[in-house]
A and B are shown apart, each in its own frame.
Chain A
């Protein structure tokens, strides 16, 4: 009965090889977020969707892109992963005035 589902849980990719992480939700929330979390650090917001409106954080590298084909699904594309992109990637959902519900995360390793 998971509400925010991320796939895969663990992803190993080669340096420079494009990778896509996926997130789905059963909550019908209109906001979906992608966070990056490195070891012992706070989650860092990369971007979010408010319905179909995409909002990029000012310091999110161009290497990171996102797609939201419908309310339930959201994807994070890393075009050319570098070693510094190894992290836990967290998807979360919410509404304008409620808390964020997180998925279990995808741990990305870059080799």
Chain B
């Protein structure tokens, strides 16, 4: 079993839809959770960074962490064609330096 599971998609939605992207994980030691957006042939770009459980909002993006269920989500409101990309979740444990553990990414396609 992988430490982090993420549906590869593709997830196709019409412009303006609310998008929900999700990851599950098995290691309860993970405390820091990140979402990266990666356009084709580019490096990952950090979108959201959260610590422990709860919600964090930034513009059209909301990150949600449910540690009891080992489940994290990224919601995109009013999705745009420019949101079409691969979204990678990543997480790490708490203390000191810890390497990131990535999901495989979900490919999102937003059609005009």
Contacts and interface: CB of A to CB of B under 8 A. Distances in A.
Interface string A26-45: 00000101000000111101
Interface stretch (A13-21, A63-71, A94-102): A94-102
B34 interface: yes
Given A45-B100, A99-B49, A40 B105 contact: yes
B81 interface: no
Nearest to A31: B97
A97 B94 CA distance: 8
A101 B88 contact: no
A99 B105 contact: no
Given A40-B105, A100-B100, A105 B42 contact: yes
A31 B97 CA distance: 9
Contacts of B49: 99
Given A42-B88, A43-B44, A99-B34, A50 B97 contact: yes
Interface in B1-43: 4, 8, 32, 34, 36, 41-43
B53 interface: no
Contact of B46 (A40, A50, A101, A103): A101
Interface in B64-112: 88, 90, 96-97, 99-100, 102-105
A20 B12 CA distance: 38
Contact of A104 (B43, B99, B105): B43
Contacts of A43: 44, 88, 102
Contacts of B90: 100
A43 B34 CA distance: 14
A41 B96 CA distance: 27
A107 B104 contact: no
Interface of A: 4, 6, 31, 33, 40-43, 45, 48, 50, 88, 90, 92, 96-97, 99-105, 107
Interface of B: 4, 8, 32, 34, 36, 41-46, 49, 88, 90, 96-97, 99-100, 102-105
